[in-house]
Structure 1
Amino acid sequence: MRVVHCGKFYPPQYNGGLEAVMVGLNAELVRRGISVTAVVSAWRSPGGVDEVAGVRVVRAAAWGVLFSQPVAPSLPSLLRREPGDLVHLHHPNPLGDWAASRDRGRPLVITHHSEIVRQRFLWPAVGPVVRAALQRARLVAIGSEQLLRTSQELRGFESKARVIPFGIDTARFALTPFVATRARELRARWQDRPVVLGVGRLVGYKGYDVLLQASRGLDALVVIVGTGPEERRLRALAGGRSNVVFAGHVPDEELPAYYHACDVFCLPSLSIAEAFGMVLLEAMACGKPLVTTALPTGVSAVNRDGQTGLVVQPGDAGALAEALAALLADQPLGASMGAAAKVVQAREYTAELMGERYVALYREALA
């Protein structure tokens, strides 16, 4: 079987939630002997072809990014030229939607990672393109029942939908001697204070401004890993407080130590733009309790309120502060929820399970 993915970007040039899913899935496909190509846009570099962990990556030269969409005119022709038994499109990605809808010589499957939210004002223009891709697709994978029930874009296409939860390579987050040593170093740097960790791009829908408001008066250090366009505003909002650390970009090999060094993991997202939250799975693999917001997406499927963590209403800084304080004050409760989170992740959200389910999806599409 030969699979050709069509995405926005691909590591190591760019790392986001969608890209993390592609990399995790492709590792499983390669492990199963499946030929994998990814056709994507280049990120701040010329286009070209390279290989990443057994995956042929074809990067289309891009003129820039407009409304979160790379402007890469050559991507459709590059996709058509790549041989494969089927095309796997990763949405949201209007240019990819357009390219895949016109690649008519082979079956199309789509992973609907999330709705188009921040650029919804463009829907009159991009909506017909998205729907054309959905009409041509044989099957559409989506990460959770919650997002399927609330999706506006998939209305009328429910019969094509298959729920396939995302997953991670659990072994990557094991407490190895190196990770344990690095975690102890981080704890020492943070003066062994209780730690609330957030990991993600610093963009508006992530809700880090609400976390900063909630952290006022909280007897804990808030560590935020990531960079993005909101960084300057968030730093100004923090006002140089000693209980807030902006860790910036952390390399992949260092990230497990940050998870193991924290007491509670927080994802305070504000909108359905947070369709799943891969970082939740990473924190769960490290045995950490979660505090998340009540969103009608995969976030609510992953974090089970009262079992793997606590759930509050989006944008409610007071409720967020109370939930964080409750877990920090009751260490046995936090440990119990963290242990439950680790079990749930290992049982339901592994890359191996995701790969197995996608291979079955491909076979159904090819039948």
Structure 2
Amino acid sequence: MKLLYCIRATYNPGGMERVLFNKVNYLVEKLNWEVVIVTTDQKGLPSFYSFPEKVRAIDLGINYADDNGNGIIKKVTGYLRRRRKHKQALTELLIKEKADIVVSLYPSESSFIPDIKDGSKKVLEIHYCKFFRLQYGRKGLLGAIDRWRTCQDERIVRRFDKFVVLTNEDRGYWGKLPNICVIPNAAMFVADRYSDVSNKRVIAVGRLDYQKGFDRLIQAWEIVYKSGKYNDWRLDIFGQGEWKEMLQGMIDERELNGSAFINKPTKNIGREYSESSMLVMSSNYEGFPMVMIEAMACGLPVVAFDFKCGPKDIIREGENGLIIRNGDIKALAEGMMRLMEDTENRKRMSLNARKIVDTYSEKAVMDKWIGLFNNLTAK
């Protein structure tokens, strides 16, 4: 079997990149399948995760991100120009590679890849919820574009041989599509030991941008800190991104410098999980939070906003974590303090959190992917 995956880039330490690495590693090492990874914006940077040597990586040099700093007119015209170049380059590559399956991880080629007649089956794999474009609440022309593109998404996904979403919640938002199916991410045990939830440390992990909502977390942490009861606890945020200076400014302004810290991404995130006592997720939206299930697999209970999508599928309220009404900063702080206060409850939730691997084991998840690929090629 030959698979070709399309993704914007692999140099970020994000959840989508980690999921792709885990899947590719399984398919290549266990099944000896041939895998090619095609990027548009790699810019010569090394992948954050070390893919197997047998995996070929091809960058098309489209560089959509180069237009991000332009005004709306230049941004739109630049995107259309790069998209034409992208379609031509990818068409030539697919005809040359002759893959059995081509998987788009929902970057720009999703709008045209079903039109490429290279003989491969086309699969769309979305790592966000259906409404991710609308979560920003943008106004004016940009807001109109977001709403238009959301409507276009409904048309685009129908054109693929298979459309894969990550949660049952998200599947419900898309309606009764004939080609839709749910395959979650796998809960990988990434540490060498479980957390005993004794360290007075809260951890948060993700890109420093709007999606992850760490500004909301810092506001909640201020409430925790200024309660005066938990000044021996600390908050560690691991990530990189365009919000770094703004978030650090929030920490400085609130005089949280001695208790809240922003750290660079680490390739040994399992060690950080095992040295923490809970994970907090303040995201505005997700597709399926990889960080959540990885942390739970390491024994961390989770306090999370009820964002779309993920918490409803993963967290059992009061058993392995707490679900907080989305945007309720005070309630998020109270959820953290509830677990800080009760060591025995943390330990109980920790034991329950570990069971996440029973539902989302690597083998169970990969069996679903392998079955999907085999069924498509059999047809």
* TM-score normalised by length of structure 2: 0.81
Which amino acid is 2:102 matched to?
V
Classify 1:17/1:120 alpha carbon distance in 2 versus 1 (closer, same or farther; 3 Å).
farther
Percentage of pairs with the same residue: 21
Aligned to 1:166: 185
User: In structure 2, how many angstroms separate the alpha carbons of the residues matched to 1:282 and 1:349?
Assistant: 10
* 1:289 and 1:338 in contact (8 A); partners too: yes
Deviations 1:53-90 (A, max 9, x none): 13221111133414599957345233443221121121
Structure 1 residue 129: Cα displacement: 6.5
Aligned to 1:275: 287
Deviations 1:177-235 (A, max 9, x none): xxx9xx9xxx9xxxx96111000001112121111111124212111000111111111
User: In structure 2, how many angstroms separate the alpha carbons of the residues matched to 1:222 and 1:58?
Assistant: 39
- 2:113 is aligned with 1:84: no
SS at structure 1 position matched to 2:105: strand
User: In structure 2, how many angstroms separate the alpha carbons of the residues matched to 1:291 and 1:306?
Assistant: 10
Aligned to 2:351: 339
Classify 1:350/1:101 alpha carbon distance in 2 versus 1 (closer, same or farther; 3 Å).
farther
Classify 1:63/1:110 alpha carbon distance in 2 versus 1 (closer, same or farther; 3 Å).
closer
Aligned to 1:225: 238
Deviations 1:275-318 (A, max 9, x none): 21100111111101100111241232112211110010122111
User: In structure 2, how many angstroms separate the alpha carbons of the residues matched to 1:274 and 1:247?
Assistant: 22
Comparing 38-47 and 229-238, the one that deviates more: 38-47
Deviations 1:14-54 (A, max 9, x none): 3322222211111121122221111122423289xxx9313
User: In structure 2, how many angstroms separate the alpha carbons of the residues matched to 1:105 and 1:128?
Assistant: 28
User: In structure 2, how many angstroms separate the alpha carbons of the residues matched to 1:168 and 1:312?
Assistant: 22
Aligned to 1:198: 204
Aligned to 1:19: 17
User: In structure 2, how many angstroms separate the alpha carbons of the residues matched to 1:236 and 1:15?
Assistant: 23
Alignment of 1:244-283 (within 5 A): 244-250=260-266, 252=267, 254-270=268-284, 273-283=285-295
Comparing 118-127 and 276-285, the one that deviates more: 118-127
List gaps (5 residues or longer) in structure 2: 70-74, 137-141, 225-229
Aligned to 1:146: 169
* 2:43 and 2:63 in contact (8 A); partners too: no
Normalized per residue, which structure has more strand?
Answer: 1
Which amino acid is 1:174 matched to?
D
User: In structure 1, how many angstroms separate the alpha carbons of the residues matched to 2:308 and 2:63?
Assistant: 35
* 1:260 and 1:286 in contact (8 A); partners too: yes
* 1:4 and 1:88 in contact (8 A); partners too: yes
Classify 1:113/1:64 alpha carbon distance in 2 versus 1 (closer, same or farther; 3 Å).
closer
* 2:101 and 2:121 in contact (8 A); partners too: yes
Which amino acid is 1:243 matched to?
S
SS at structure 1 position matched to 2:358: helix
Picking from 27, 30, 40, the partner of 1:29 is 27
Give the superposed CA RMSD: 2.9
Classify 1:355/1:62 alpha carbon distance in 2 versus 1 (closer, same or farther; 3 Å).
same
Structure 1 residue 123: Cα displacement: 4.6
List gaps (5 residues or longer) in structure 1: none
Picking from 249, 272, 288, the partner of 1:236 is 249
Alignment of 1:101-140 (within 5 A): 101-103=115-117, 105-114=119-128, 115=130, 116-117=132-133, 118=136, 121-123=144-146, 126=149, 130=153, 133-140=156-163
User: In structure 2, how many angstroms separate the alpha carbons of the residues matched to 1:304 and 1:121?
Assistant: 37
